[in-house]
Amino acid sequence: MAVSLRLPGNVKRRIAKLAEEQNTTPHAFMLEAIRDRVDAEEARAAFHAEAKRRLARMRKSRLGVPAEEVFDYLLSRDRTKAARPFKPS
């Protein structure tokens, strides 16, 4: 797939400078930047999908811990460093 990008002059200059510093071409620099962003967005989407699956499973099983109990437990661990092990109610 051929794509044409129209970049403002200041962006072109910044890319050229960074590419030169990294001993690569502006084209290769842009490809890597796009690839990195696509990877990050795919990872983010996978993270959210997994969170939705886990939330659905928790709601279906009705097994969960109220957030307030979790926060109270974490705060007690932070203060004492020796809080009792957490047991859901």
Question: Would you say residue 38 lies in a domain?
Answer: yes
Query: What is the DSSP track for 24-36?
Result: S-HHHHHHHHHHH
What are the structure tokens assigned to 81, written together?
């460093």
pTM over 0.85: no
Question: What's the total number of domains in the chain?
Answer: 1
Question: Would you say residue 3 lies in a domain?
Answer: no
Question: Would you say residue 59 lies in a domain?
Answer: yes
pLDDT digits (tens, 9 = 90+) for 12-68: 999 999 999 999 999 999 999 999 999 999 999 999 999 999 999 989 998 888 889
Angle 26-61/9-21 helices, nearest 10 degrees? 90
Question: Would you say residue 53 lies in a domain?
Answer: yes
